[in-house]
Amino acid sequence: MRRTPALSQAVPIFCLFLAGAVGIASAAGPAHRGRRSRGVPAYADPARDDSSAYDDPVVRQIALDALGHTNGSVLAMDPTTGRILTIVNQKMAFSAGFEPCSTIKPVIALAGLQEGAITHDSMIRIDRRRFMDLTEAMAHSNNIFFERVGSQLGFDTVIKYAQLLGLGDRAGYNIQEEQPGLLPSKPPAYGGVARMSSFGQGIRITPLQLASLVSTLANGGTQYYLQYPRTELERQNFQPRIRRELDIAPLLPDLREGMLAAVLYGTAKQSYDPYGEQALGKTGTCNDESLGGRLGWYVSYADQAHPKIVLIVLIRGGNRHTNGPHASEIAGRIYRGLHARNYFADAARSAQYAESAGASR
């Protein structure tokens, strides 16, 4: 794994002050540092209003245990079919959407690679004496790296790739409650395309859209419609439905390396499971300007060679503990729980799920 060269000396204090004065966030720090978030509870009963009769009972129970009383939502899906296995806190998952925070960065990375703005080895200056490549920028969620890539691409190109990857549109097939989220028609007034490329400012995204995005990256470019069978007939007649095929496979190794580094030693290291299926992921932390409160996202999938499951974790609250690393910790509990239950190694898992769906409430 390539590592960024060490600093020869510390960045002068006046440079840090100047960066803060113009509103540039530090490399891995949460967005909107100057605004305190209040009024959004960090604890709740996330499954209170759920209807889960046809969820995979094993995945759902492990997700419930991992989430506990955190005010959040967990979505799990099969990246090889588009089938949603469970949604904990369906009210939150089916809402109008949230700011994606740093989970927008894989979109910017993919666009930058495809458009030639960056390569695997590109070194971008992130402060006076420090440069960073894509792997390290993904691992540590460096805002300045992606602000500069996004600014080079321009607003129209960023929006083009966001649309290509399913943002701003419903990801599901026949999921009536789902909402389309939002892509802006012009750059945000504060921070422009740079801020949009590092924190997703101006974008509203749902857990379903992020699940579709991560699934497409996991399986090599097949964008499935997400399906959530919630009747006996839907369960029996389930067939994968392909929305589009994206020619992105040559770009994915560079992107996946950064997502793996995030888990091994970066912002998502709390999701690491040394004994199970290795996960790749991306965290996101910011204040939600429209809804108030802080957001913590973690998007991930298990097993790079043969993707087995996609997990999307979203948490909300009004304190500093609501962040992407904590969301990754919740996902880590789920991965370890699935490993303890021998979930991935069970060759008959799909058949067992089909037989048990509808029987567990």
Q: What is the full DSSP assignment across 95-120?
A: SS-B--GGGGHHHHHHHHHHHTS--T
Q: How confident is the model at residue 109 (pLDDT cuts 50, 70, 90)?
A: very high
**65 has pLDDT over 70:** yes
Q: What is the pLDDT of residue 223?
A: 98
**111 has pLDDT over 60:** yes
**74 has pLDDT over 70:** yes
CATH code of the domain in which 81 resides:
3.40.710.10
CB 90 within 8 A of CB 49: yes
| 283: CB partners within 8 A, 6+ apart | 102, 103, 141, 262, 267, 268, 296, 297, 298, 323, 324, 325, 327, 328
* CA 264 remoteness from chain centre: 17
**337 has pLDDT over 60:** yes
Q: Which of these ranges, 35-39, 50-54, 85-89, 219-223, has the smallest mean pLDDT?
A: 35-39
Instruction: Give the mean pLDDT of 216-226.
Output: 98
**What gap in Å lies between CA 72 and CA 46, rounded to an integer?**
6
Instruction: Give the mean pLDDT of 81-85.
Output: 98
Does residue 62 form part of some domain? yes
Answer with the residue of higher pLDDT: 108 or 39: 108
- Average pLDDT along the chain: 88
Under DSSP, the state recorded for 250 is: G
Q: How confident is the model at residue 354 (pLDDT cuts 50, 70, 90)?
A: low
Does residue 260 form part of some domain? yes
Q: What is the pLDDT of residue 35?
A: 39
CB 301 within 8 A of CB 215: yes
Share of the chain above pLDDT 90, in %: 80
Q: What is the pLDDT of residue 277?
A: 85
Question: From residue 352, how far is each of 57, 139, 277, 347, 358 by CA, in Å?
Answer: 10, 37, 20, 10, 12
**What gap in Å lies between CA 324 and CA 317, rounded to an integer?**
12
Q: What is the pLDDT of residue 39?
A: 81
CB 100 within 8 A of CB 284: yes
Question: From residue 320, how far is each of 89, 286, 288, 294, 346 by CA, in Å?
Answer: 22, 10, 13, 8, 39
Under DSSP, the state recorded for 251 is: G
**Domains: count for the chain:** 1
Does residue 107 form part of some domain? yes
**What gap in Å lies between CA 221 and CA 254, rounded to an integer?**
14
**What gap in Å lies between CA 327 and CA 239, rounded to an integer?**
31
Does residue 215 form part of some domain? yes
CB 270 within 8 A of CB 328: yes
Does residue 33 form part of some domain? no
pLDDT tens-digit readout, 33-53 = 333 445 899 999 999 999 999
Does residue 24 form part of some domain? no
Helix (H, G, I), strand (E, B) or coil at 236: helix
pLDDT tens-digit readout, 282-322 = 999 999 878 889 999 999 999 999 999 999 999 999 988 99
Answer with the residue of higher pLDDT: 113 or 9: 113
Strand partners, 127: 130
**What gap in Å lies between CA 230 and CA 357, rounded to an integer?**
9
Does residue 319 form part of some domain? yes
Does residue 342 form part of some domain? yes
Helix (H, G, I), strand (E, B) or coil at 243: strand
Instruction: Give the mean pLDDT of 213-232.
Output: 97
**8 has pLDDT over 80:** no
* Measured distance between the N- and C-terminal CA atoms of the chain, rounded to whole angstroms: 45
Domain of 297? Answer: 43-356
Q: What is the pLDDT of residue 239?
A: 97
Q: How confident is the model at residue 349 (pLDDT cuts 50, 70, 90)?
A: low
